[in-house]
Amino acid sequence: MQQLLVDELTGDRVILAPARALRPDTFRVHAEPLPASVATCPFCRGNEHETPPEVARLGGGEPETPGWSLRVVPNKYPIVGDGVPGAHEVVIFSPAHDADLGALSEHAAADVLLALRDRARFHLAHGCRYPQAFVNQGKAAGASIEHPHAQLVALDLVPPRAQVRLDRFAPAAFADDQEHRVVDGAVVVWCPRASPTPFTMRLALADGGSRFDEAADDDTRAAGVALRDAIARVQLVLGDVAYNVMIETAPRDHAGPFRWWIDVVPRITVYAGFELATGLSVNVVAPADAAGALRAAR
Ligand SMILES: [Zn+2]
């Protein structure tokens, strides 16, 4: 039976049209494994001079030389700049060309989130209002460079979808959204009640604040490890799927209630004519079933 549901946190509407025979295997993706390094990749070790000069690094070595474990560099083709003020940076997870978020060590996954938080903090301290951190992993998710990386676009405006999230936020709605749990603990992982696409997951600290840039070190590390584990679950269930990760936060100077959270959206279905025309998503896997499969993955 079809159901029309509203994501109370985003206002997005979805038609749940679960196809009973569909199992996770229906969506499984088998990609050729990537090589550990690629001579022509600007994010691989030894090619540091091919990116704009780095703004942060972890690990050893001099700037623009090997020895790093994580690098942050300005995006060579920024979304924002002279016409639209802001900053656009890239966080290169590790020198390994083949290690996406799901394959990182706990330490490295924690470092990714710490680096994003620190760069968000930096740009907010320098006049930006809203930091949008995200990951496009795989071509179907919009990645133009294969080497795993995250991006941070610091805007001097609050973008429309972020404003909708702020306007709609209510603690009760946030709690209700967590009905279909995947993981319990200091970081909670769940499939949203009105998941727009199959196997969408949301993560949040059980006791978090409104702004990602203000998260404490320990909380940020815990969220990074939980994010890694959540993506590893997706990969156990669905294989080598493309996915997006988005960190949703309150902007600078926000006074109302909010909780920062992370959305993980596997890109196993496409927005086609109906979705583009109507703004309604169609999800063929019930979030309760997706949560069950993700919970069982280990
Ligand atoms: Zn590479």
Residue 58 CA, ligand 1 centroid: distance in Å: 17
Q: How many CB atoms sit inside 10 A of residue 144's CB?
A: 7
CATH architecture observed for domain 3-296 = 2-Layer Sandwich (3.30)
Residue 154 CA, ligand 1 centroid: distance in Å: 25
What Å distances lie between residue 64 and 45, 49, 50, 144, CA to CA? Answer: 10, 6, 9, 22
- State the amino acid at position 95 in one-letter form: P
Q: How many CB atoms sit inside 10 A of residue 273's CB?
A: 7
pLDDT at 20 over 80: no
Residue 122 CA, ligand 1 centroid: distance in Å: 27
The pLDDT value recorded for residue 24 is 80
Strands 261-266, 149-155: pairing is: unpaired
The pLDDT value recorded for residue 29 is 85
Tell me the pLDDT tens digit for each residue of 219-231. Answer: 999 999 999 999 9
pLDDT confidence of 2, banded at 50, 70, 90?
very high
Residue 140 CA, ligand 1 centroid: distance in Å: 18
Residue 228 CA, ligand 1 centroid: distance in Å: 20
Residue 272 CA, ligand 1 centroid: distance in Å: 32
Tell me the pLDDT tens digit for each residue of 234-275. Answer: 999 999 999 999 999 999 999 999 999 999 999 998 888 999
Report the chain's mean pLDDT, rounded to a whole number.
Answer: 95
Tell me the pLDDT tens digit for each residue of 110-167. Answer: 999 999 999 999 999 999 999 999 999 998 898 989 999 999 999 999 999 999 999 9
Alpha-carbon span 59 to 56, nearest angstrom: 10
- Burial letters for 8-47: b for 16+ Cβ neighbours within 10 Å, e otherwise? bbbebebbbebeeeeebeebeeeeeebeebeeebbbbbeb
pLDDT confidence of 27, banded at 50, 70, 90?
confident
